[in-house]
Amino acid sequence: MPKFRPKPRTSHATSRRENPLRSIPVAPRTRKWDGSKAKTRIKKLLMNRPVYEKQETLERAFALWPARGESVTDIENYKLPVMDVVRGRLVLVPRAVFTAKAYLHGARGIRIDATRAQKRDAEQRLKLLSKEIQ
| Domain residue limits, the chain | 25-133
- How much of the chain exceeds pLDDT 90, in percent? 50
Q: What is the pLDDT of residues 100-119, one digit of tens each?
A: 999 998 888 878 888 899 99
End-to-end CA distance of the chain: 44
Q: What is the pLDDT of residues 40-63, one digit of tens each?
A: 999 999 998 898 889 899 999 999
Residue among 76, 42, 47 at smallest CA distance from 60 = 42
Pick 19 or 88 by higher pLDDT.
Answer: 88
